[in-house]
Structure formats: structure tokens, C-alpha cells
Chain A
């Protein structure tokens, strides 16, 4: 860990970002996955992360969900440090209970859905609210049913995941994540494991919910069209760094950097 005391204990002032990566680096052994990343995401801002595989884009989300530790730097969520906690006037690496408290404002959906196979769609959606948020069964069920209706899965609420298609599972997973009332939602290649004909049903749900709940969103995706139309900003990652970022219209229509141009034209050729 580098000298964490150089980092503020809390972000103050106007325009405190919902998420801030400050000089964040991550290595696996000798391999540098993220190299001194600095990234701010404002409240209710929608940011898409694109780039070739191995460029570190999924790692960004996994660090924010605390599924991966970081090697240096600090991540802040809603002005408070996430990876570290204040102790005796400086920041020290966060312990399990601090992480647990901070994690409450973050939700995540995965490429492989990761629904609990031994629970029905509804049970998946009430598990966290009852066990973690302490909601009553009735409250949790009402809320879950409302969310399952919004994602169009209310008719299937008593089905186990094994009986649902990929697109249906992913929609349940989105409802499950939202049932925890996160401020920040992370979508990690949520359409990559889906058949082409069901991608639309999932992207439509995300589009609808993200604007409805005014969520801050970070999304890793290979769907350039979806990224272009849902995001306020697109970040192009290349070997652990943000190579270029901008509004979708600019980044997709008029990329400045050569690597961005190469990547986008390679993606276009593949379609």
C-alpha cells in the first residue's frame, strides 16, 4: 500500500462525485491490470466502459464491488473511502465490517447471472432485503414483485432459474440487484452470455430502470449501440489505462486516438 495518508479522509465541497478512482493500480503477480486509474463518475451519470479484452475494464467494476482488492490508490463512493477507512486521522485498508457497510450502496449484475439456483425468482429477490436490509417478508415480497413486474418477469416469479432462459435470468438478476436499493449499479457484460435475439429484452430493461431510479451506472459492454444510446460518457480502456473518453457521439463518431479508431473499426468489421 502506498502512502494512503496523502489521500483525503472524505471528499467534500460541491460536486462530490458518486464514484472516484484515485490513482488506483492493480496487478496480478507481475501483470499490471490497471495502471494509475483516475476516474470520476457523477451522481446519476451513466458511464460505459469499452475496450479489448484484458484491458482491465471488468476489473474496474470488480474492484468497486469489492470482489477484488486494489494494490494502490483509493476508491471513494459517495464521498467516503471504500477501499480504506479513516482511523486516527489517516486512511488504513478497510476491514470486513467497514467494507460490508460501504458495499450497501453498490449493486452488480454479472455476465453469468449468478442467480441462486435453489431459489425461485422471487426468493432470489427477497433474500438480500430480508437477510441484509432487515425488511419484513411482506415488505420484501411487495417490493420484489414490483421490481419483477418492471422487468417483465412477474409471471415467472415462482420458477427456479434452471427453468428460465438466459434473458429471463438476467432480468431477474437485475431485479434482485435493484431490490437492495443501491445508489450505484454495475453491469458487467450482462448481455455477453445471451442469445442475440434476447439481448434487446435485457437492454430495454436496463435502459428503463436506470433512468427511472436515477441510478449512477457503470457498465462494461461489447454492445456499442447500447453503450452509445444509454451512456452520458464512454471510456475506452487500453492496457489498464483510459486511452480516450468522451460523450458517445464524439467517441464513436469522431475518435481522436489511433487505438480507439482501430478498436472501433475492428468491432464494426466483426458485426
Chain B
């Protein structure tokens, strides 16, 4: 069997794909930012003294983690309007991805927070720091370095989540490739290029996370 690869066609469709890749990057950036903050909120809510609240958040996190992302995207986009929440594909998709990865990241933060020795909390009490100062100035900075590996994985995972947005018509990279394929009946080049672009985008991401971890550790004096 002969491989029917056309460089000319690949070159022709590249601009469309790169435009899609930009949207993918935007989705990753926004979704990840939401997850970084949302995950922290979910992790902290699980540590509140109110048993009811922490149990409710715990269940919510479990629920999000154990149902498919695609279902959640459909739910926000197609079922949302029935409850009067009408959102664009972009907004629905990003909310779903942000929540989904928040749930995962909250578990990573939780591990990092629990790894901070109890003595650190006792020192905060002995110095009479407020709960807020204790968390944001003492405990969270120490919980971050052990969490960076997991945070890096979450970033890569979000890259791979974004093609699901094509299911509700967000014109990200995967969607662009599918449109190209449907119009030209050629799928080899677009999907190969999609694979390459994903690879090129996520390799530096992993590298950036490693740099960030090293920077964080040296900044915190934990070399």
C-alpha cells in the first residue's frame, strides 16, 4: 500500500490548523487558570470545619471525577438552557473543562496541603497568625512544590481535553482538522498535523512546569 501524503496539501491547510491551534491554546490557558484557582477553592472548602460543607464538596469532586468530561460539556451546553442558563459553546466548554480539571487539581492540592507537617500549623497558632495568613503565607507556599508534578500533568491533560470542545462546535484545532477533512475528503494530512501540533504544544508545557518547579523551590529556599 502506498502512502498518499501530499506535502502541498499539508502546507495549504496549515494556516487553518494553526488558527485552530491558537484557539486550542486559548482554551487551555483559560481552562487551566480556572482549574488552578477552582482546584484550590475546592481543596480549601474540603478542609473547612463545617462537616456538611466539606462532605458536600467532597461528593461534588467525586461526582465530577467519575463522570465523562464529554457528558459534562453536553450537560452545560444542551441541558443548561432548560434551567435558563444559555451559554455559548466556548463558555459552556470552558466551564466544563475548568470544573473537571478543578476537581482533579483539588485532589493534588489536598495531597500537598496534607503533606505540610502539623508542626507548621502549631507554629502559626503559637505566633497567633490569622487563619488566612496561616493558609496563604505559610501553608500553601509549602504545599505547592510537592504539587507541581501533578499540576504539570493537569496542564497536559487539559490540552488533551480540548478536542472534546469540537463536539459542541468550538472551532479549536480538532474541529479545524475535521472541517478540512470533510471538505476535501483527505484526513491523513490534517489529523497527522493535529498530532504533531499537539506534541509541539505539550512538550514545552512539560518543560515550563519543570522550570517553574525549580524556580519555586529555590524561591522558597527548599533546594
Say whether A and B bind each other.
Answer: yes
- Measured CB to CB, the residues of A under 8 A from B are 65-67, 100, 103-104, 106-108, 110, 112, 114-120, 127-128, 131-132, 160-163, 176-177, 180
Inter-chain contacts of A110 with B (CB < 8 A): 119, 122-123, 126
B211 within 8 A of A: no
B220 within 8 A of A: yes
B210 within 8 A of A: no
Least CB separation from A123: chain B residue: B221
- Measured CB to CB, the residues of B under 8 A from A are 117, 119-120, 122-123, 125-130, 133, 137-138, 141-142, 219-223
Q: Once the chains are docked, how many angstroms separate the CA of A119 from the CA of B137?
A: 10
Residue in contact with B141 in the complex, picked from A118, A161, A176, CB distance below 8 Å: A118
Q: Once the chains are docked, how many angstroms separate the CA of A106 from the CA of B127?
A: 9
Inter-chain contacts of B141 with A (CB < 8 A): 118
A143 to chain B, nearest CB (A): 14
For chain B, what secondary structure do more than half of its interface residues adopt (helix, strand, loop), or is it mixed? Answer: helix
Q: Is the CB of B142 within 8 A of A177?
A: no
Q: Is the CB of A116 within 8 A of B120?
A: yes
Q: Once the chains are docked, how many angstroms separate the CA of A48 from the CA of B221?
A: 36
Given contacts A116-B142, A117-B222, A131-B137, 20 further A-B contacts (CB under 8 A): A100-B128, A106-B126, A110-B122, A112-B117, A112-B119, A114-B122, A116-B123, A116-B138, A117-B142, A118-B219, A120-B221, A127-B129, A127-B138, A131-B129, A132-B127, A132-B133, A162-B222, A163-B221, A180-B127, A180-B128
Q: Once the chains are docked, how many angstroms separate the CA of A180 from the CA of B126?
A: 10
B139 to chain A, nearest CB (A): 10
Residue in contact with B127 in the complex, picked from A117, A120, A163, A176, CB distance below 8 Å: A176
Inter-chain contacts of B222 with A (CB < 8 A): 117-118, 160, 162
CB pairs A–B below 8 angstroms (26 shown): A100-B128, A100-B130, A103-B125, A103-B128, A106-B126, A107-B126, A108-B126, A110-B123, A110-B126, A112-B119, A114-B119, A114-B120, A114-B123, A115-B123, A116-B123, A117-B220, A117-B222, A118-B221, A128-B127, A131-B137, A132-B129, A132-B130, A161-B221, A162-B222, A177-B127, A180-B127
Inter-chain contacts of A65 with B (CB < 8 A): 122, 125-126
Q: Once the chains are docked, how many angstroms separate the CA of A120 from the CA of B221?
A: 8
Q: Once the chains are docked, how many angstroms separate the CA of A67 from the CA of B124?
A: 10
Max chain A C-beta neighbours (<10 A), residue from B119, B127, B130? B127
Known contacts A110-B122, A117-B142, A118-B142; is A127 also within 8 Å of B223 by CB? Answer: no
Q: Once the chains are docked, how many angstroms separate the CA of A180 from the CA of B123?
A: 12
Q: Once the chains are docked, how many angstroms separate the CA of A117 from the CA of B223?
A: 11
Known contacts A103-B125, A114-B119, A118-B141; is A162 also within 8 Å of B223 by CB? Answer: yes
Least CB separation from B127: chain A residue: A128
Q: Once the chains are docked, how many angstroms separate the CA of A15 from the CA of B39?
A: 54
Q: Is the CB of B221 within 8 A of A117?
A: yes
Least CB separation from A66: chain B residue: B125
Q: Is the CB of B221 within 8 A of A128?
A: no
Inter-chain contacts of B138 with A (CB < 8 A): 116, 127
Known contacts A110-B122, A114-B122, A131-B137; is A160 also within 8 Å of B221 by CB? Answer: yes
B162 to chain A, nearest CB (A): 34
A157 to chain B, nearest CB (A): 13
Q: Once the chains are docked, how many angstroms separate the CA of A241 from the CA of B41?
A: 45
Q: Is the CB of A128 within 8 A of B128?
A: yes
Residue in contact with A131 in the complex, picked from B133, B219, B223, CB distance below 8 Å: B133
Q: List the 8 closest pairs (A to B, CB-CB), nearest first.
A: A160-B221, A118-B220, A128-B127, A114-B123, A114-B119, A108-B126, A131-B133, A103-B128
